[in-house]
Amino acid sequence: MKIGFIGLGNMGAPMAANLAKAGHAVTGFDLAAPCPEGVTMADSAAAAAKGQDVVITMLPNGAILQKVAGEILPAMDNGAVHLDCSTVDVDSARAVAEQAAGLGIGAVDAPVSGGVGGATAGTLTFMAGGSEEAFAKVKPLFDIMGQKAVHCGAAGAGQAAKICNNMILGATMIVTCEAFALADKLGLDREKMFDVVSTSSGYSWSMNAYCPAPGVGPQSPADNDYKPGFAADLMLKDLRLAQQAAEAVDADTPMGTRAAELYAAFVEHEDGAGRDFSAMLPRLAKRGRA
CA angle 61, 64, 66 (to 5 degrees): 105
Which helix (H) or strand (E) element contains residue 130?
strand 124-130
| Active-site residue, from 50, 137, 162, 237 | 162
Q: How far does CA 92 lie from the centroid of its chain?
A: 16
Query: Rounded CA gap, 73 and 196, in Å?
Result: 53
Question: In DSSP terms, which residues pair with 106 in a beta bridge?
Answer: 81
d(CA 3, CA 24): 7
| DSSP states along 154-174 | STTHHHHHHHHHHHHHHHHHH
Helical packing angle, 232-249 and 254-269, nearest 10°: 140
Q: What separation in angstroms does the CA of 124 have from each of 8, 273, 279?
A: 16, 24, 23
**Annotation says 67 is catalytic:** no
Q: Give Rg (Cα) of the chain.
A: 20
- Give catalytic residue positions: 162
